[in-house]
Structure 1
Amino acid sequence: MTSFLTESLSIKWPTDLVKFPVVDFSHQHITLTEDIDINTPRVMHPQDFPVSGESGKYLSLVLWLNNNEINDTSIVVEMATIILERPTLLMWIDLSNNQISEIDDVLQEFTNLNILYLHSNNISDINGIDKLANIPSLRTLTLHDNPIDSIPNYRTTILNLLPQIASLDLQVHEY
């Protein structure tokens, strides 16, 4: 477990996350936290890396919940707590292609989050985006294919609200 924590602190680029196990609950019709109990994730992991910790929960910095029926980001913390050994260490969460309409404050609990995919949801309120400003490690964010991306000056507005973002909608932001 100690080496896992040490390695996680040395990540400099999102592509470095491929070194760690991915807990993949995508395409499983998940709506509620209870759905986690009846679904088994696909777990992709390097051969020499343990899949679970002392508690039997997954050791991962990456959680994919894309292509489900999730409509509330607040359940992500509950889900992560149920299945992950150290949920606050999450660095990548994929919530794309769900039914999310707003961003909840609880995502701020993921203080190490580097990558957040929220594209292809129902997010329409630009004022809710500023909640992500309290995650200083967040560098990559996707919001395209949401009603919000039709707002005039969408890209400029998002980057002004979230100056820490280096890549918005998979396009690198030049400072």
Structure 2
Amino acid sequence: MTSSLGLKRNALVVEKRIDNHTQSYPPLDYSFHNAQKLEDAVAEPRVSTGGSKLVMEGDRYHSYGINLNHNALSGPMDTFPEFLQKTLMNPFALSSLDLSFNEFTDIPTIITRLSSLKYFYFHKNMLSDPAEVQKLASLRELKYLTLHGNPVEMNVPYLRSYVLSLLPDLRSLNCTPVTKGDRQISDVWSVMNKNLLPKTSNKNLKK
């Protein structure tokens, strides 16, 4: 009979293989274009010096990551799905998206359609409403999130507990690993601040 420890180890091995496969192709880098619109940012993608070469099949790339950091992007990014379809061999497998150092005042709703997203970098934007984080609750694969450097960080002193209440499966928040203590504090905070959480989260707390 397979022990629970053995099953856990097997699961970690499988997950590591998935992560290694995802990282075997470099992300498409569209950073530092000072672009205000997505269409202005997505010229020829770059690869960092010394990085792996981009792999193409036809006119599309094998990649699981998109870097759009250090631009001047804002707004809903409605054309992003079409861009992914045109650019990636497997657009539905996008696992990493970097929108840091832009001018977003909210999290684009289109992000909620990226069901395989595991890494989402959103630091150094103009986000001020903590309720925007609720949009990410539907992303079941999301494990790594950054929000630091947004106005919301200064406006909401309980931000870490709030985010972990909405996204309990995160492994890292703002480049800091989520610890057992973080989860315990978040659980206590959630019970004491039900009025600050969306109704769906309140229902989960009662179960």
Q: TM-score, normalised to structure 2's length? A: 0.70
The offset of 1:15, in angstroms, is: 6.7
4+ residue segments displaced more than 6 Å: none
Map of 1:126 onto structure 2? 130
Q: Is the 8 A contact 2:36 2:72 kept in 1?
A: yes
Offset at 1:87? 1.7
Q: Structure 1 unaligned segments of length 5 or more: list them.
A: 1-9
Code of the aligned partner of 1:135: L
The answer (yes or no) to whether the contact 1:92–1:114 under 8 Å persists in 2 is yes
1:36 to 1:119, Cα distance in 2 relative to 1, 3 A: closer
Q: SS of the residue aligned with 2:57? A: coil
Indicate the residue corresponding to 2:145 in structure 1.
141
Q: Do the aligned partners of residues 127 and 61 (structure 1) sit closer, same or farther apart at CA in structure 2, a change above 3 Å counting? A: same
Q: CA offset at residue 137 of structure 1?
A: 0.4
Structure of higher RCO (CA pairs closer than 8 Å, 6+ residues apart): 1
Question: What is the aligned length?
Answer: 162
Q: Name the SS for the 1:30 alignment partner.
A: coil
- The 8 Å contact of residues 38 and 73 in structure 2, kept in 1 or not, is answered as no
Judge conservation of contact 2:41–2:71 (CA < 8 Å) in 1.
no
Tell me how far apart the structure 1 counterparts of residues 33 and 176 of structure 2 sit (CA, whole Å): 29
State the identity %. 30
Distance 1:73 1:11 in 2: 32
Secondary structure in 2 aligned to 1:93? Answer: strand
1:27-42 matches, cutoff 5 A: 27-36=32-41, 39-42=43-46
Larger Rg: 2
Please identify which structure carries the higher helix content. Answer: 2
Paired letter, 2:105: S
- 1:104 pairs with one of 102, 105, 108: 108
In 1, Cα distance between equivalents of 2:18 and 2:71: 23
Report the secondary structure of 1:116's partner residue. strand
